Structure 1
């Protein structure tokens, strides 16, 4: 029975059959409805009119997710990674997917014992974690995770380049503009807000250079920002193409002689 339940709960995307398909459709539907409820709950007119419906649906969802969480802990030993009946289940409970499951139901149980309503309102934001549970059943999300994991060194390096350039540009701009705008460009950390706007080409306009040299530097920063921000995009694109090619079993051919590489 435990093995059957494990197959229902954990069957991979694209191979669901019978009860597994029904369960996953129901689960994704409930998660989606929870996301809609979270959004509509903030509309005062709708909340007043359907307060009982929101409360009942929240109770039903928490009970459903609680039973599912307990079942997943119970059947986790069917996975080779968590084979030990005690330590295996404990390892599963601290895994990322299990933590997301727990955060989805934790605010409800905490509100039963909490006396500070402000804390309860803050913790309700954890309900949004139910959205992340859909990723467990999405092949596309798993593909993104694999691509990011394979290209993490290149991504980290490109982000470091962006941060270094932000610090350099902001430092130069501070020494250029501070003498004429001491309040606006009061420090290098304050100038880094301008640097983010300039390199991302957002241009909020709340802080901007007025000297000719500062304007020249702002133009250079904007052009460099476009080039630097394109690096992670290119890295991820090449990673996606490589994974898709491997999945489809595509072969590489030389563009000159036409032979298979």
Structure 2
């Protein structure tokens, strides 16, 4: 399968390892991963803060970058951004775009997947050969849980990781309090929600808190760092890309660049 990788803004600027790990997992499974270099932001922040017309060029750009018929699927290491592509792009295109853009949005959103969706639902894989000898708890982010309804797909993948000690997170489906600009506009409420989340993480005794959205990991990780908890955050893709280096040779996975890529 030829799969295009959408890095997302936060992945590109703050969490490149999650992006690279996504490509690594898929290339190890034998798929061609391409990276359209013209990609930018999905436009979610603009829409969420009331600037829908300003998101139009970003929606147009997304369609242009990923509408290539040779691309079988688009993978995104972010449930939040996939939620924007599937739900917000249609709104923006219908209100401010053209009928041609609306058709393009419909086509591209139909092949855009969050990583766990692509692996479990499309590729039919739960065991990607990962090895992660650490105690881990999983936080299901709001967009992936409520908007995309990925269910337990990330947990299906984590349960197959060798030597992982996967522990259940109390009140796992509670929001961490980030919510993009919500954390800025409603700082006190956000902080209270975060306190509940990191207390639950601490109760698990986990070394790592895992999630599939880097934005939530930023929020949770920041809170745990300030409290000097010692628990670190890790993106789902990074766990899935980890292997026992003593058992395998040097990774041969590659990612190509450009629209042909």
TM tier relative to shorter chain: under 0.3
Q: Which has the higher helix share?
A: 1
Give me the TM-score of the superposition, normalised by structure 2.
Answer: 0.27
Larger Rg: 1
Which protein, 1 or 2, shows the higher relative CO under an 8 Å CA cutoff with sep ≥ 6? 2
